[in-house]
Structure 1
Amino acid sequence: MERLDDSEEQLERVDSDQLTLTSSGSGISSIFSADDFRNFNGSGDISSISSGSGEIPIFTVNRVILAPSLIAEKYEGDSNSNKADVTAAREKCVGRNNKGVSWGYTSVIGRRNEMEDDVAVIPGFLSRTCDHVGGCTAPGSRSSGKISPVHFFGVYDGHGGSQVAKFCAKRMHDIIAEEWDREIAGGAEWQKRWEAVFANGFERTDSEIESEAVAPEMVGSTASVVVLSGCQIITSNCGDSRVVLCRRTQTLPLTVDQKPDREDELLRIEGEGGKVINWNGARVFGVLAMSRAIGDRYLRPWIIPVPEITFTARTDEDECLILASDGLWDVMTNDEVGEVARHLLRRRRRSLSTEEISPTQVVADRLTEIAISRNSKDNISIIVIDLKSNRKRLQRPASISQEHD
């Protein structure tokens, strides 16, 4: 993310209407040219590359159903029970134990002079039962009472320097975990708990940056965070990094960019006596092209570290999550990104080859290449999370599947 001053290059911005939710049914070749898929030789366009991938292994694959005693009680003496009734009784958490989750990420300097992005991938940053975390899709099922990992993913796009982004990547997930343990004792409804956890967590992170003199007051960062439980995708967003969900043929934005000219943000800024000036895009006092961020104390109270939080129940139709800084979104629409991800993931899942590189890493790498080929002038950081369970993602021999069933 760039901060505008006389010494920095002015970047072109795309319109915010790319957030429209639409289905994408066109072929991938109709959107992307050959240049979009060219290979890069590391000649400076994508120097300072950071990338990685990983997976939470599945230790056992169990069919998760209601306890046998409950099923027996429900259908005892009912000789007319049909197959649909039995299926309905076998409710399970969509993400089961949330194991088998795989991810890949890239974080590159691109055409900027300084790397100001950072990412955080913290598998199992909490270990809780699904009903304890909240939002279980099958409350009362056997799976809802099993302890399973809860994962944390974050993209941080710094401006004015890299210090705040680096601090967030190192510290924010620990603060969120601490706030969760503190809030759980209150007994509030689960969504209200998470709202309090993220609001307090972002505020604490911002306060620690000030108290520990992490960065000058003109340095700040976006923070787009996902907490992934077995049944829920919980996002918390400050700034104009973005999270999208690929679900079947749709690419759904789970966050809305916090731009100064967004109607509600404009009213808030002007209500506090601030001004939004159109200087190569809408900017707070002609300086910052976002309305919320961690840090940026010299622009208080117009730039605030208050996140917007969303809750999305997972379904069996979910393909993947994509978190990225605006180095990607400046040059690609949500639907273009989603189509690339679906195309590559589905093709890799069908393949029987055992490649060292994970399908999610392939997607992250390819999106980075396309963004560079389209002359993205910002740092580019992308995290791709495969939401298909290992059971559906991998083609296992029948004997192994039957053995674990």
Structure 2
Amino acid sequence: MAPEVLTKEIHTEKSDVYSFGITVNELLTGIVPYTDLRAETQAHTVLEMNYTEQQLTAAVVSEGLRPVLADLQSGAPASLVSLIERCLDKDPQNRPSFDDVVVELDFIREHEVGRGCMEKASGEAFISSNGVDAANFQSYQENISWFSQGKDFLKRVPTALAASTWLDSSDDHIYSPVLSWGSFASCGRRETMEDRHFLMPQLCDEKDIHIFAIFDGHRGSAAAEFSSGALPGLLQNLGSVCSPSDALFEAFIKTDVAFRTQLDSSRKRKGAVQKDWHPGCTAIAALIVRNKLIVANAGDCRTILCRSGIPYPLSRDHVASCLEERERIIRAGGLVKWQVDTWRVGDAALQVTRSIGDDDLKPAVTAEPEITSTTLSAEDEYIVMASDGLWDVVSEKDVVNIIRDTVKEAGMCSKRLATEAAERGSKDNITVIVIFLRPVSTAERIY
């Protein structure tokens, strides 16, 4: 909010101009105002200065505290940064009107279109420098709604929404975490977004059953889209006949089989999909049943649990550089060879050794997930799930340190982690889910 609004003075058009400037700057930097931790020479944030909410208001009004502006490295033209700076002037009279803003933005667009600054700043390729939709740069343009295909698949499966059988009424006295959750996904430096995820708290309307998952697509987003549509329903259907761990395991397997069947069916329809197209995705899912946390992983997404300030890994990466996984691939009849910079699987040169889809590499590249089970307690603070776009450049310890220094709101923490990964040079799509396991006080949120 503008300084005059914080001091309860008259709200004018210039107050909205201030908010516009804040919003555009956040789009350019990818950083929620006052939650960033940059180099000390740039630092001027709530977290570093230990501001309370009241002190923050005073600093904005009296000391001229403002978010760190976008720099030229972000791709933002100097003229746009200058406009933002004037929008954030303390004196409303010195801010431009919206008519002036529109005129300046038209000028910037006409003179800066070749730089593609908005594409770089937002992390998504909206328009390429020559005005062509970036999706057209893909070697193959998917024209099927694979998410809908995944959802529709369940209509052909007998429905038995019985995950509630996992709850034992005799366990009512045991510890049960109080959850809050949020996520953030960014295309990053890629031209297309192939990650998908879902957040499904209170599965089957049961307050103590929750499922969260991330799917990191490769060779297109089809497998990730299909899986995000199919897996939740499959898991619910298996609840009546399987334990939570077994249900999660079987849901991965059945999702893989269903996707490959649907892909094969599409190949038989002339022109539906290319015959030599073999999309796949890695997958990680976290199922919480009262005080039990079950994590299923196939691929190189990762989940950690922060317990008393210490990160504990709940999954391991399934990649060809792992000797155990290489040997498993070879025993299953697959080919593993050193290509370019690391061990890779088959002619597709896939780095991961477990996935949904990738039908040209089956059965060696299996969809069978590894399962871990953890009993949650009052010492457990939060769970972080993310695609490898985060873990490639941010360590588990760094994740804990970043959340420690971020306002304790799950969506904000997710965005902060994704932003940090982008700033550190991640070259992949980035998806982050943060799940707090206990109530967070106002004081904890601020500091």
Fold shared per TM-score above 0.5: yes
What residue in structure 2 maps to residue 240 of structure 1?
Answer: 300
Write the letter of the residue equivalent to 1:284. Answer: V
Deviation at 1:276, TM superposition (A): 2.1
Deviations 1:136-186 (A, max 9, x none): xxxxxxxxxxxx331110011000001111111122111111111232xxx
SS of the residue aligned with 2:240? helix
Distance 2:309 2:249 in 1: 33
Deviation at 1:94, TM superposition (A): 2.0
What residue in structure 1 maps to residue 389 of structure 2?
Answer: 327
Write the letter of the residue equivalent to 1:275. Answer: L
Deviation at 1:266, TM superposition (A): 1.4
Distance 1:315 1:251 in 2: 15
Distance 1:149 1:341 in 2: 25
Distance 1:182 1:125 in 2: 17
**TM-align CA RMSD:** 3.0
Confirm or deny that 1:283 pairs with 2:330.
Answer: no
Distance 1:335 1:248 in 2: 13
Deviation at 1:48, TM superposition (A): 4.3
Distance 1:333 1:164 in 2: 27
Deviation at 1:113, TM superposition (A): 1.2
Distance 2:430 2:296 in 1: 20
Distance 2:329 2:301 in 1: 20
**Does the Cα contact within 8 Å between 2:124 and 2:192 map onto a contact in 1?**
no
What residue in structure 2 maps to residue 104 of structure 1?
Answer: 182
Deviation at 1:199, TM superposition (A): 2.5
- Which aligned pairs between 1:173-322 and structure 2 lie closer than 5 A? 173-183=232-242, 193-213=243-263, 218-279=278-339, 280-285=341-346, 287-322=349-384
Between the two proteins, what is the percent identity of the paired residues?
29
Write the letter of the residue equivalent to 2:196. Answer: D
What residue in structure 1 maps to residue 418 of structure 2?
Answer: 368
Q: What is the TM-score with the length of structure 1 in the denominator?
A: 0.64
Confirm or deny that 1:44 pairs with 2:120.
Answer: yes
Q: Which has the higher contact order (CA 8 A, sep 6+)?
A: 1
Distance 1:229 1:342 in 2: 26
Deviation at 1:43, TM superposition (A): 4.6
Distance 1:252 1:373 in 2: 25
Distance 1:372 1:155 in 2: 18
Deviation at 1:121, TM superposition (A): 0.4
Distance 1:323 1:258 in 2: 16
Distance 2:394 2:121 in 1: 17
Distance 2:395 2:311 in 1: 10
Call closer, same or farther: CA 1:361–1:395 in 2, change over 3 Å: closer
Deviation at 1:123, TM superposition (A): 1.1
What residue in structure 1 maps to residue 174 of structure 2?
Answer: 93
Confirm or deny that 1:165 pairs with 2:224.
Answer: yes
SS of the residue aligned with 1:44? helix
Gaps of 5+ in 1: 1-28, 50-65, 68-90, 129-147, 184-192, 349-358, 397-405
Write the letter of the residue equivalent to 1:328. Answer: L
**Does the Cα contact within 8 Å between 2:213 and 2:284 map onto a contact in 1?**
yes
- Which aligned pairs between 1:47-58 and structure 2 lie closer than 5 A? 47-48=123-124
The structure richer in helix per residue is 2
**Does the Cα contact within 8 Å between 2:124 and 2:191 map onto a contact in 1?**
no
Gaps of 5+ in 2: 1-35, 46-67, 77-117, 126-168, 267-272
- Which aligned pairs between 1:6-17 and structure 2 lie closer than 5 A? none
Q: What is the TM-score with the length of structure 2 in the denominator?
A: 0.58
Confirm or deny that 1:120 pairs with 2:198.
Answer: yes
